[in-house]
Chains A and B, each alone.
Chain A
C-alpha cells in the first residue's frame, strides 16, 4: 500500500520547510520529495534505527527495562539531585519544552538548550543592542541585497536560498534571481561563496574588525581606516558599504562561523549595530541562521515562562540567568551538576571532553529515539516517538514563525511530551508529600 502525505514539516533544521511530500509504503517511509539531502536523510534513515525500548546501564552492560522502570529511575534521580541539569530541548516541541522549564523550576535545576553552543552569543548581542529582523517571506519578496556572513548556507541550510532568498519568487521583482546581489563573507571560499556577486575573505578572527570598519565607513569616518583590515582591502570595504547603502531592502544572515569565533557575541553585536546604522539610509534586517529545528522554540518558551531564553538556573527558586555561569558547558566543566537529563540532543558529540567525562560520572538520563555519542555517556536512555514523524507539536522557525509539525505515522512509542508530563506529575507529588 502506498500513501502520499503533503505539506509535511521537516524536523531537521531551523528552516522548517513545510512543503515536504512523504511517500509511505507498508507503514514505512519510502520516499521524500522537496526536502534537501539533510532533511531527506532525517526521514529515510529513521526506519530500523530506533532503540526498541529504554535501556539501563548495569555495570558494563545494557539491560532492557520498561518505560515504568525508566520513569521511576528518572523521578528518583531528579528529585534528589542538588544541582540537576536539564539540557537539550531543541529537538522537542514547545509543549515538551514548557513542561521542561516547569520541571526545572520544580526541582531547583538548570534548564538550558543547545542554544548555548550555537546561537547563545547572538542572544547575548541582542540583549545588548536589540534585533532588527523580519520574517523570511519579507526577505523573499523584497530583498535586492543579501549577505551571508560566516554561514555556508548551501551546505548547512540547503533550501534557504531557494525558499527564502536568492532563488525564491519575489513579489517586487520580475526576475528576482538576476536582480539580487549576494555578498558572502567568510574565512574561506565556501560553496556558498561561489555564487556570490561579491566575496569578502576575512582573516580568521577578523570579523569584528571588518564590521567596525564598515560601520565607520557608513558613518563617513572611513578616513581613519587603514588600507587593509583583517585581510580585506579598504577599497573592497568601501565598495561593500556602498552596495549596502544603495540596497532597497537588504538582509544579512549570519551563522556559527561568526558566533563561535573570536569575540563571539561582540561580533554579532557589531553586525547588528552595522545593520541598525544602515537603517538610517535604507531598509536592512539581520537574522541568525538557527540550526536545530526547534531551538528557537526553546528560546521562546523559556522566555515567556522564565523571562530568559536559555541557561536558566532555578537553584534558589527564582529564575537566574548568566551565560558563562549557568550554561550547560560551564556547569559541566566545573563539575557542578550531580544529575543530568539530556533531551534529544547529543552533547557527547559536541561538548568539550571534560564535560562528557563529567556526564559519564553522574547519573545521566538521555531521551533520544536513536543511539548517539551520548548513549555511551548515559546511565539510562529512553526512546520516544520522533517529533515531526510519529509525534506532533509546535516548532518555531528560525525567524519566529510558529508551525505545527505533522504526525503522519502510527507509533508504538510514547511521545516525549507524555513522558515529561508523567515525570513532572510524579515529582510534584513526591515534593507535596514531603
Chain B
C-alpha cells in the first residue's frame, strides 16, 4: 500500500479555483513533477499542497490519496481516474470524478457541481451534499454518466443525472429540480423529495421515495408496484422510461 496525503497550504487568494486533474492515484507512482493551475498561473503541486508519501508501490490500485484542508475550490480531482482510492476529508470543488473509469472516491464533506460528470465506471460516495449536475453530461453532449455508481448521503442540487445513460445514482436526501431530465438509461434513485422529475426522459428508471412536486402532465400512469405509483413516459417524446413515485404532490398549482 501507498498513502499520499495532500494538505492544502494557506493561499494569498483563497477564492481562486485550482484545477488539479493530475490528482489521480496513478500519478503518484514514481516521482515525476506534477503541476496544478491556480487561476491562470501554473503551480507545482508542492506549492499548493504539503505532499507526504508513505510506502511505495508500482500499481495504482494500491494507492490511497487523501486530500486534507480547504479543498472546496479544488476542481477536477480524480478526472479520468481508473483505479485506486481518493479520500477527501472536507469539501471538494467542481468536476470531481469526471470521466472516471474505475476506483473509488470518498468525499466526507460536500461536493460542488458536476460530480462524476460523464463517468464510465468506478464509484463515488459523498457523505455530504452534491451540487448541481451530479452525474450529468457536458453542454451539448447527448450522454451523461454511462456506468459506475454515485451515492450521495445528503441532498443533491438541480439537474441531477441529466442525460443519465447508464449506471446508478442514489441520493439519500432530496434533489432539486429537473432530476433525471433527458434520462436515457441507468437508474436514478432519490429517497427524498424532488421537483419536476424525469422531464423528457426516453429510457431508464427513476425511483422517487419521497414527494414529487410539480409533476409533469406527460407521464402515463400504468399501475402500482411496491407501494409506489408507476408511470411511463415522457410522452412529450416517444419516451419509454419508467418513473416510480411514492407520493405525487396533491393539489399542485401546476396540475
The interface residues of chain A lying within 8 Å CB-to-CB of B41 are 82
CA distance A216 to B15 in the complex (A): 46
- The answer to whether A224 touches B220, judged by C-beta atoms less than 8 angstroms apart, is yes
B226 at the interface (CB under 8 A from A): no
Q: Which residue of A lies closest to B219 (CB)?
A: A224
Q: Are A224 and B218 in contact (CB under 8 A)?
A: yes
- Among the listed stretches B24-32, B122-130, B229-237, which one makes contact with chain A, having 4 or more residues with CB under 8 Å of it? B229-237
CA distance A208 to B217 in the complex (A): 10
| Complex interface: stretch among A46-54, A139-147, A317-325, A413-421 | A317-325
Q: Which of B139, B200, B236 contacts A323 (CB 8 A)?
A: B139
Write the A214-236 contact mask toward B (1 if CB under 8 angstroms, else 0). 01100101001110111100000
Are B199 and A127 interface neighbours, CB within 8 A? Answer: no
**Is the CB–CB distance between B217 and A225 below 8 Å?**
yes
Is A369 an interface residue, CB under 8 A from the partner?
no
A221 and B196 alpha carbons, distance in the complex (Å): 20
- Tell me which residues across on chain A come within 8 A of B181, comparing CB atoms: 266
Complex alpha-carbon distance, A215 and B234, angstroms: 10
Answer whether residue B22 sits at the interface, using C-beta atoms and an 8 A cutoff: no
**Of all chain A residues, which has the CB nearest B138?**
A322
A154: Cβ under 8 A from any B Cβ: no
What's the interface size class on B, roughly? 35 or more
Which residue of chain A is the closest to B233 with respect to CB atoms?
A224
Name which residue of chain B comes closest to A214, CB basis: B236
| Residue A206 is within 8 A (CB to CB) of chain B in the complex | yes
CA of A83 to CA of B75 in the docked complex: distance in angstroms? 15
The residue from A128, A212, A314, A334 contacting B217, defined by CB atoms under 8 A apart: A212
B133 & A324 in contact (Cβ 8 Å cutoff): yes
Distance to closest chain B CB from A131 (angstroms) = 12
Contact B217 A229 (CB under 8 A): yes
Contact of B177 among A128, A226, A263 (CB under 8 A): A263
B239 to chain A, nearest CB (A): 10
A190 CB within 8 Å of chain B? no
Contact of A212 among B140, B177, B236 (CB under 8 A): B236
Do A219 and B235 contact each other (CB < 8 Å), given the known contacts A108-B39, A209-B216, A315-B37? yes
Please name all residues of chain A whose beta carbon is closer than 8 Å to the beta carbon of B178 when the two chains form the complex.
263, 266
Mark B2-45 against chain A: 1 for CB-CB distance below 8 A, else 0.
00000000000101110100000000000000000111110000
B214 CB-CB contact with A under 8 Å: yes
Residues in chain A near residue B233, CB distance under 8 A: 224
Report the separation of the CA atoms of residues A335 and B140 in the bound assembly, to the nearest whole angstrom: 27
B161 in contact (CB, < 8 A): no
> A324: which B residues are within 8 A, CB to CB?
113, 132-133
Q: Which B residues between 42 and 91 are near A, CB-CB below 8 angstroms?
A: none
Interchain CB contact under 8 A, B216 and A212: yes
Contact of A205 with B by CB under 8 A: yes
Alpha-carbon distance between A325 and B73 when the two chains are bound, in angstroms: 12
| Chain A residues positioned under 8 Å from B214 (CB to CB) | 205, 209
Q: Determine if B150 is an interface residue (Cβ-Cβ < 8 Å).
A: no
Contact with B along A91-107 (1 / 0, CB 8 A): 00000000000000001
Known: A270-B200, A270-B236. A209 touches B217 (CB 8 A): yes
Q: Residue of A at shortest CB range from B17?
A: A336
Partner of B253, one of A203, A221, A335: A203
One digit per residue, 1 when the CB lies within 8 angstroms of any chain B CB and 0 when it does not, for chain A 188-211 equals: 000000000000000101101101
Do A338 and B236 have beta carbons less than 8 Å apart?
no
Q: Which of A108, A219, A325, A334 has the most CB of B within 10 A?
A: A325
Best-buried of B39, B133, B140, B233 by chain A (most CB within 10 Å): B39
A83: B residues at CB distance < 8 A:
16-17, 39-40
Which residues in B have some Cβ–Cβ distance to A below 8 Å? Answer: 13, 15-17, 19, 37-41, 94, 113-114, 132-133, 138-140, 177-178, 181-182, 196, 199-200, 214, 216-220, 233-238, 253-255
Q: Contacts A108-B39, A322-B138, A335-B15 known; list 17 others, CB within 8 Å.
A: A82-B13, A82-B40, A82-B41, A83-B40, A107-B40, A206-B254, A212-B200, A215-B236, A224-B235, A225-B218, A230-B255, A231-B254, A266-B199, A315-B19, A316-B19, A336-B17, A338-B13
List the 3 closest A-B pairs by CB distance, nearest first: A108-B40, A82-B39, A127-B140
28 contacts between A and B (CB under 8 A): A82-B16, A82-B40, A124-B139, A128-B182, A203-B254, A206-B253, A206-B254, A219-B237, A219-B238, A221-B218, A221-B235, A224-B233, A224-B235, A228-B255, A230-B253, A230-B254, A231-B254, A262-B177, A263-B196, A273-B236, A273-B237, A314-B40, A315-B37, A322-B139, A323-B139, A325-B114, A334-B17, A336-B17
